[in-house]
Structure 1
């Protein structure tokens, strides 16, 4: 922080004699700039941003109050303390100067020790305010840095857990990226829909997108012979496969118990893991929920997950053509999926196909 002797003071007065008196008083202690009119003062202040302004009130063309108003209207200069210096020694004049925002009011003829003391006081106060502002700026930057680091750690941890589940099913390597992209895009499209606008805030969509990769975390509890079976599952195997929804929800619930307060994204992650296989008509699993009883997060994930399963190659099937996938999604309207979500999805269908192409799994020979 510069010392007080390095501070710059701008003196504004239309009288050369007054400028000389104040200049001679202050020059040994400070860097002094002078202006003989309000317009010149504003140009100098904008270019140099002084630490303090001594401003005469009675000036032609633009008086001190007008200069002060423009100084405070400019973001570059609105923080500069201003001391009015004037021959008007009435209480009313002093009160007006203080009311408009001046930090002090000095009457002419000046008393040098008093002027120096008041200037020093205001410069020390400004220095303290500047130091506090710098500290606050540093703290805000540090908090933002820590929050960014925490978010990054959180996202890396989510990806690691999701990839752990996918190592059991290696042919869905980019499934995480694709479904995360579908979920985010569909949520953004639905954000202005009257049924979803209250729920789908920017913050909710951010959490939803972050949570999406954990939708199949429960697959870590499913045996390999079921996950990697090249043909259809028999009824017994299918019942075991369906337990991955419950397993995933329980795993996230157990993780929640280890923290002192609720973690927002884990709440959505648990909803998605638990209910993304529920169907609009109530024929899904594990709890046969229907309609609005299914959380919005899980309804969005259900559509994203089915779309990706259809349009991508799996160990038990080849990828389907996009037009055939579109027809299947349309047929699931009001049965498997929320009808308004299907309408929004189909209205922007090429966007979702582009996401699928962008993160398509590499072809393994």
Structure 2
């Protein structure tokens, strides 16, 4: 709106009324004139007046219809409309407001009332425009701040995950591989119509971001056990298994330090604590079975085992991709949920692509050809 010279569109089929109104308004406003409804709609769309004075009783298209069309057009819907009419019935005024008018002035026109009403509505529109602008600025600042916080969160997650991950892997690519495995596996389940309520687009993103923290508890496991090249003793394996509980404790400490509910931490805690559970109840730390195991952890179980099988560690060489797929297929119903294994088998080539994209140095992309044994 041009505050120095606002524009007013006068719409009236009576020439005398147009002359009268134009003479009254020209000292204060830029005046546009339309002689009928169609012309008013054309001028309003092209010139975008700051306010419209609209006669009701016009041939072919009355003021009510003109106002309805103005308000249904995104280009003109925000322009305030004041009806000018000789109609005095309450029903007429009510209909005028129902179609979107902001005011209703009776003829014969009182110049002081008309000018006051126009200025009042121009100020109101200016205030609304300013409020809208401030909201846009605020929304943009919120988006920027949210992006900054998300970036900081992602960097912190990466740093925390790498702290644990690099203690028993030569690179941090295990983090990137497993989180991508989890994402494509969750997306495939969703595509097939499974777990629609639990696997929304937002929750899949949470899974992707939480996955790197699945082994955060390994920071509490000594190097003598974590990096042992041979088979662990029963006592050592019990200590190794405690990384799930340690991971949950670390993340619960973080959760207790904030004063709001965080879905990301909830998911991360589920994955860290339960990703070593098995479908048949033979896993740890709680021996959960079936759907008692959180879905996030059931997904991570396949992602983590697949990557462990195809990756070389200090305590083992690596399996081929095909061998890893076969082992996971054979684990359906015992180690893994059959439904998730089914989805895994339909996209196993994508797992191989992820493994190749984020391969460790010295990784044999053609064969994945060595054997695995377990510390997990």
Q: TM-score, normalised by structure 1?
A: 0.92
1:319 paired with 2:325, answer: no
Structure 1 residues 315 and 31, CA gap change in structure 2 (3 angstroms): farther
Q: 1:298: which partner in 2?
A: 297
Shift in alpha-carbon separation, 1:218–1:91, aligned structure 2, 3 A: closer
Q: What's 1:128 paired with?
A: 127
Change (3 A) 1:295 1:94: closer
Does the 8 Å CA contact 1:171/1:313 hold for their aligned counterparts? no
Give the secondary structure class of the aligned counterpart of 2:83: strand
**Mapping for residues 132-281 of structure 1, pairs under 5 Å:** 132-191=131-190, 196-281=195-280
2:20 is the counterpart of 1:21:
yes
* Superimposed CA distance per residue, residues 21-41 of structure 1 (whole angstroms, 9 cap, x where no aligned partner): 212221221222222222222
Gap change, CA 1:10 and 1:315, over 3 Å in 2: farther
Q: CA deviation at 1:170?
A: 3.7
Q: Cα distance 1:36–1:315, how it changes in 2: closer, same or farther (>3 A)?
A: farther
Which residue does the alignment assign to 2:372?
none
> Structure 2: how far apart are the matches of 1:295 and 1:25?
74
Q: In the alignment, which residue of structure 1 is the partner of 2:96?
A: 97
Q: Deviations over 1:186-228 (max 9, x none)?
A: 1222236666222223332222222111000011111223323
CA gap of 1:45–1:312, structure 2 versus 1, over 3 A, is: farther
Which segment is superposed worse, 174-183 or 306-315? 306-315
With over 3 angstroms needed to count, the CA separation of the structure-2 counterparts of 1:263 and 1:91, relative to structure 1, is closer
By how many angstroms is 1:142 displaced? 2.2
Alpha-carbon distance between aligned partners in 2 of 1:158 and 1:251, rounded to the nearest angstrom = 13
Matched position secondary structure for 1:77: coil
Match of 1:111 in 2: 110
Does the aligned pair in 1 maintain the 2:68–2:100 contact within 8 Å? no
Aligned to 2:371: none
Alignment length (residue pairs): 364
Deviation at 1:144? 2.5
CA RMSD, Structure 1 to Structure 2 (Å): 2.1
- Secondary structure at 1:6's aligned position in 2? coil
State the partner residue of 2:331. Answer: 332
5+ unaligned residues in a row in structure 2: which ranges?
365-376
TM-score (structure 2 length as normaliser): 0.90
Q: Measure, in 2, the Cα distance between the counterparts of 1:46 and 1:352.
A: 55
Matched residue, 1:356 = 355
Question: Aligned-pair distance for 1:315?
Answer: 2.8
User: How many angstroms does 1:364 deviate by?
Assistant: 8.2
**2:71–2:100 contact (8 Å) kept in structure 1:** no
How has the CA–CA distance of structure 1 residues 255 and 96 changed in structure 2, closer, same or farther, with 3 Å as cutoff? closer
Q: Please give the secondary structure, in 1, of the residue aligned with 2:184.
A: helix
Is 1:71 aligned to residue 70 of structure 2?
Answer: yes
Please state how far the C-alpha of 1:279 moved relative to its aligned partner: 0.7
Which is further off, 275-284 or 55-64?
A: 55-64
Native 8 Å contact 1:7 1:51 kept in 2: yes
Gaps of 5+ in 1: none
Q: In the alignment, which residue of structure 2 is the partner of 1:36?
A: 35
Q: Greater shift after overlay, 16-25 or 338-347?
A: 16-25
Distance 2:18 2:360 in 1: 77
| Distance in structure 2 (CA, Å) of the matches to 1:329 and 1:33 | 76
Is 1:171–1:315's contact at 8 Å kept on the other side of the alignment?
A: no
SS in 1 for 2:242: helix
Q: Separation in 2 of the partners of 1:92 and 1:282?
A: 73
Give the distance between the partners of 2:284 and 2:260, measured in 1 at CA. 29
**Counterpart residue number, 1:45:** 44
